[in-house]
Structure 1
Amino acid sequence: MSRIFSKWYDFIMGPLEKGKFKTVRKDLLQRANGSVLEIGSGTGVNFPYYHSVTKVTAIEPSQHMIERSRKRREMSVVPIQIIQDNAERLPFDDDTFDTVVATLVLCTIPNPEAALQEMKRVCKPEGKILMFEHVKMNNVVLANLQEYLTPLWKKVCDGCCLNRDTLQMINENGLQIVHKKTFYNGLFIQVEVGITD
């Protein structure tokens, strides 16, 4: 991520993060337990919402985002380690984490299918993957609008793709949705995912 985008990210997202997104994140992360891996931790927006976990290992490719997350990490009530790396090739053994968390990140990962496979690999068989993402909408008109806007949106928002069919990717990568909520007419989803063979 660019320094400019990381600098303005919290300001741009502020109205949503102080409203509905705060509720969604709290609801999602209260289901996290044990040792947690967070994919694409960004500016550390999730860090204050971890309570019932032993520790959090956060993966973030952007040094600029890591710098902006340090204050939230220091204020966290649980230990948080941030590693600069990417989600497509995680530096962890199989079956390492009890919970894997991904929030508003699959839209920007260059190879989201590889990231999902890695999330599945490092999550324990009895573990869970918790996601909060924006997705391609079911409404045909709105979905077409997402397709139309994505090329420009990617340039403005540092690689963010509006048109990713994340639910389909989840189902096609050996993951099973065990709980799902939708928001804003299906633009955003909150899901708990189980591991399948």
Structure 2
Amino acid sequence: MAKLFAFFYDMLMSPLEKRWIARVRKKIITDLEGEILEIGTGTGANFPYYSKEKVDRLVSVEPNPFMIDQARDRALENGLKVEFHKGMAETLPFKNGEFDTVIATLVLCSVEDPHKVFKEIKRVCKQGGRIVLFEHVRTESRSLASLQDFLTPAWKHLCDGCHLNRNTGRYMRESGIEITREMKYFKGIFVELEGINR
């Protein structure tokens, strides 16, 4: 299933990427600088938007080896030097306070334990460092949220563990990260979140 998901992911996401997601990626990534950890890199969709002048070090963690292969190709296409690690976000293989910024886009829906993931994000991000997220989440619309709840069991099986109804913003707040910016799209189905590690 992991190989099949990796093969079709970019094709399935292409319409949304072209319509607006690529613009969001560009907006939240272009100004990132210093030492950056990207959690759940996937096929490397964020790579075209990093500034080679501003990024001192870019580190990727991704559990799907087939997606890592595609991300390596995309890094080469964009002339981007990336350190790739196969691993889970719940157990990051890095030192405390190693990164200036931690970023994740459209990935925290599929982690097994979001509480552990945010604990790890806080651990590896420097005090005062940035946490930048773009995720799809449980919607504010009651009727659409009920539909998300209904679809999630089958959706998780088809889409590599993706939870349509995950309230990622709540997990972020509960972790103690200070949220400094929040922007919602489409009745809150998608959200940009930026915070400071306190």
Shift of 1:18: 1.7
Shift of 1:76: 2.8
Give the match for residue 130 of structure 1. 132
Asked whether the equivalents of residues 53 and 78 of structure 1 are also in contact (C-alpha less than 8 Å), the reply is no
Shift of 1:113: 1.1
Instruction: For 1:30-109, list aligned pairs within 5 A.
Output: 30-51=30-51, 52-109=54-111
RMSD: 1.1
Give the match for residue 182 of structure 1. 184
Please, which of 165, 168, 175 is the counterpart of residue 166 of structure 1?
168
Residue by residue over 1:43-89, the C-alpha shift from the partner in whole angstroms, topping out at 9 and shown as x without a partner, is 00001111021121000111111111122111234421111111101
Alignment identity in percent?
A: 42
Asked whether the equivalents of residues 36 and 55 of structure 1 are also in contact (C-alpha less than 8 Å), the reply is yes
What residue identity is the alignment partner of 1:112?
A: P
Give the match for residue 18 of structure 2. 18
Aligned to 2:63, the other structure's residue is in SS state coil
For residues 19 and 55 of structure 1, the distance between their equivalents in structure 2, rounded to whole angstroms, comes to 30
Runs (4 or more) in structure 1 with deviation over 4 Å come to none
Asked whether the equivalents of residues 50 and 77 of structure 1 are also in contact (C-alpha less than 8 Å), the reply is no
* Number of residue-to-residue matches in the alignment: 196
Residue by residue over 1:96-144, the C-alpha shift from the partner in whole angstroms, topping out at 9 and shown as x without a partner, is 0001000001000111110111011100112101000001111111111
What residue identity is the alignment partner of 1:97?
A: F
Alignment of 1:153 onto 2:155: yes
Shift of 1:19: 2.1
What residue identity is the alignment partner of 2:73?
A: K
Asked whether the equivalents of residues 136 and 190 of structure 2 are also in contact (C-alpha less than 8 Å), the reply is yes
Aligned to 2:41, the other structure's residue is in SS state coil
Asked whether the equivalents of residues 169 and 193 of structure 2 are also in contact (C-alpha less than 8 Å), the reply is no
Asked whether the equivalents of residues 133 and 190 of structure 1 are also in contact (C-alpha less than 8 Å), the reply is yes
Shift of 1:155: 1.2
Aligned to 1:161, the other structure's residue is in SS state coil
Runs of at least 5 residues in structure 1 that lack an aligned partner in the other structure = none
For residues 5 and 102 of structure 2, the distance between their equivalents in structure 1, rounded to whole angstroms, comes to 25
